[in-house]
Every structure is written in C-alpha cells, then in structure tokens.
C-alpha cells in the first residue's frame, strides 16, 4: 500500500496538465489535486485483504525458486513481479470503485463507500485515475506479453459485469453463464497476474499455463466462497451488507443449486428477486437447501485443481504457501 501511495502521490505532484486543467476549471489546484489524491488513496488503507498481490508474489517466488536463479537474478525478477502485484491491487481497487457506483453501495470494508463519501462523477474519475497510474507502472516493465495479459484482465472485468446483466431461461445455461462470469469478474485478474509472474520468471510455456490454471482455480474458489459468505456471514464481519447479491437481483451458486431442489426459486430468479418478500423467500429456500454445501464442495474441487496445477514445481516454502493458501480460501469468514 505504501508503494501504491507513492505512485499516486508522485503523479499528483508532477502532472503539469492536471495543474493547467485545474486553472481552466477554476478550481484551486490544491483542492482539485487534494481531493483526487485523497479519493484515490481512500481504499488503499490497509484494511483490504490484499489477496491478489499476495498470491501473485507467492507464485512468483515459487517459480523463481523452480527456475534455479542465482541470487541477483532472483532479486531482479522479484522486483519486476512486485510491480505486477501492485498493478493487480490497483486494477482490483479501480474496479471496486466503479462497482460501488454501479451497485449504489453504502459501505465497503466497514466504512462509507467511495460514492457515498464523494459523488458518482468524482468516483468514476477516481477509478479511471487509479487505472491510469496502474497503466504507467505496467509500462515500466517494458514487456509486451505481460502487457497483453494484463490488458485482457481489463476486458474480462467489463465483460463479466455485462454478463451479470443477462438472463438465461435454461438452468444449465444459467449455471454456465454464472461460472463464466465468475471467471471474468474475479478469477481472470488472479489467473493472469499469476501467468504474468510466471512469464517474468522465464518459465517454460507449459509451466506458464500451469500458473494460469492455479490462479484461475483459486480465483473461482475464492468467488464461490464469497457468494457463500453472502448467505452465511454477518454484515458486521463482511464490512458490507449481507444478502447483498439477492438485493441486487443476482442469483449466485447457492441459489442456482437450491433451485434444482426448490423449483419455486425459478420464478424468483427470472424476475431478479424484484417483488415484495422475494429476497427473504429466496434466502429461506437457500438456507434449507443443500445449495450452501454444494457451493462449498465446488469451491473445494477448484482448490484441488489449483494444487494439482503447481504439482510440477520443485518443493519450496513458497510452493507450500500456495498450497496452504487454497485451504485459507475455503475457511475464510470475511
Ligand atoms: C465486485 O463485484 C466487482 C468486480 C469484481 C468487478 C467490477 C468491474 C467493473 C465495474 C468493470 C470496470 C473495470 C475496471 C477495471 C475499471 P460485486 O459487486 O459482486 O462484489 P461486492 O459485494 O464486493 O461489491
Ligand atoms: Mg458490488
Ligand atoms: Mg457489482
């Protein structure tokens, strides 16, 4: 977070065009720069779990170890991988800023959501700004392959949000769309940052693919558990309201599984829980169904697939950490 703050500050102090713009808008430079800086740093407050950078760096270290680098090479590669880790948190945060505007979020991580503390217009710009600084950090890597891989994440995030707006008539199609959306919204960022760090470690194409598989499966498991916690955890623990997905009209894995047991849910899913008591009824159906258990089982399967993907790596404390991390994903409470 300290490094991200430095990147954001540096840009704010040095950008001549922004100073000119502040003159043209008639808003004092300090006020314009001050509030943008304050906003941009608002979610980088050390309260987030920083799961994405942790995964990217742990995988990077495990791969560097596997590649038998000398100490100098290891340090240099890890420094480059660190930039990918930083970018991953910046992309994630920018997407959360935009997401909170789209979802009219009240709170995030136990404090007012950015769009409540400021307004939607400034919040959109703040998300764009964090993304812009992330792009500058990415350019410092001067690596076309890594650039392509991380650009794909941005496209996937937008695609995922679009998919979330779609309805499907058929149960199987609905579940497939949900899984694909889950990849785009959550797993893509983790999968491609893992891939990027394997590329920076100069791993063989096969091993680069395994890094992608590790991230993809951990990412899908992470989101499945997130969707589970929306039903199982309290709003106090989550730092955001519980049952939020239903309130937004979204049918996630627990509801989709429950609907095979309780066909009454089908109508509620199709009308996106929009009528009076729909949210409460769906919540009750899920609680008495096997949906929560089935979601946990599916998350476990993805964790197993993640562990299998990194099997070819030589043993190291980092490889063990990657394996332990899959357990943490399953047992987390917030
Ligand atoms: C959180 O989901 C949202 C995301 C993971 C992705 C949001 C992506 C966009 C808004 C597209 C724009 C992307 C960029 C890079 C600016 P959620 O609403 O289900 O979760 P929540 O409960 O944490 O709000
Ligand atoms: Mg949201
Ligand atoms: Mg959302």
The ipTM is: 0.97
Q: Ligand 1 within 6 A of 248 CB?
A: no
pLDDT truncated to tens, each residue of the chain (334 aa)?
888 887 777 665 555 665 666 667 666 655 655 678 888 888 888 877 889 999 999 999 999 999 999 999 999 999 999 999 999 999 999 999 999 999 999 999 889 999 999 999 999 999 999 999 999 999 999 999 999 999 999 999 999 999 999 988 888 999 999 999 999 999 999 999 999 999 999 999 999 999 999 999 999 999 999 999 999 876 555 565 568 899 989 999 999 999 999 999 999 999 999 998 999 999 999 999 999 999 999 999 999 999 999 999 999 999 999 999 999 999 987 7
Q: Give distance in angstroms: CA of 78 to centre of ligand 2.
A: 32
Cβ pair 291, 261 in contact under 8 A: yes
Among the atoms of ligand 1, which is closest to the Cα of residue 153?
15
Q: Give distance in angstroms: CA of 158 to centre of ligand 1.
A: 9
Ligand nearest to the CA of 131: 1
Q: How many of the other CB atoms lie within 10 Å of CB of 314?
A: 10
* CA dist., res. 279 & res. 269, Å (int): 10
Residue 9, both tokens: 């500050």
Residue 232, both tokens: 């199982």
Q: Give distance in angstroms: CA of 39 to centre of ligand 2.
A: 18
Residue nearest to atom 9 of ligand 1 (CA): 95
Q: Ligand 1 within 6 A of 91 CB?
A: yes
Q: Give distance in angstroms: CA of 100 to centre of ligand 3.
A: 7
Q: What are phi and psi of 273, to 5 degrees?
A: 50, 40
Q: Give distance in angstroms: CA of 72 to centre of ligand 2.
A: 42
Q: Ligand 1 within 6 A of 185 CB?
A: yes
């Amino acid at each position: 977070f300290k490094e991200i703050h430095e990147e954001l500050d540096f840009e704010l102090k040095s950008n001549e065009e922004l100073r000119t713009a502040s003159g043209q808008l008639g808003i004092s430079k300090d006020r314009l720069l001050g509030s943008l800086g304050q906003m941009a740093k608002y979610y980088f407050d050390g309260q987030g779990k920083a799961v994405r950078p942790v995964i990217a760096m742990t995988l990077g270290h495990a791969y560097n170890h596997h590649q038998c680098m000398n100490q100098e090479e290891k340090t240099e590669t890890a420094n480059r991988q660190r930039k990918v880790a930083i970018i991953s948190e910046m992309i994630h945060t920018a997407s959360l800023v935009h997401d909170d505007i789209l979802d009219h979020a009240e709170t995030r991580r136990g404090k007012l959501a950015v769009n409540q503390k400021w307004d939607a217009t400034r919040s959109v710009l703040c998300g764009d700004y964090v993304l812009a600084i992330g792009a500058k950090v990415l350019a410092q890597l001067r690596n076309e392959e890594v650039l392509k891989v991380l650009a794909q994440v941005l496209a996937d995030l937008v695609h995922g949000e679009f998919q979330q707006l779609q309805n499907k008539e058929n149960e199987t199609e609905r579940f497939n769309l949900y899984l694909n959306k889950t990849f785009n919204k959550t797993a893509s960022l983790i999968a491609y940052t893992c891939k990027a760090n394997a590329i920076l470690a100069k791993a063989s194409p096969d091993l680069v693919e395994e890094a992608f598989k590790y991230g993809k499966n951990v990412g899908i498991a992470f989101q499945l558990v997130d969707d589970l916690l929306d039903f199982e955890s309290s709003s106090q623990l989550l730092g955001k309201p519980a049952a939020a997905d239903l309130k937004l009209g979204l049918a996630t894995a627990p509801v989709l599984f429950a609907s095979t047991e309780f066909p009454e849910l089908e109508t509620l899913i199709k009308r996106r829980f929009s009528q009076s008591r729909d949210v409460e009824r769906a919540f009750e159906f899920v609680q008495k169904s096997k949906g929560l258990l089935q979601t946990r089982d599916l998350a476990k399967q993805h964790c197993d697939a993640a562990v299998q993907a990194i099997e070819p790596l030589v043993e190291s404390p980092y490889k063990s950490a990657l394996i332990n991390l899959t357990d943490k994903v399953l047992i987390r409470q917030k």
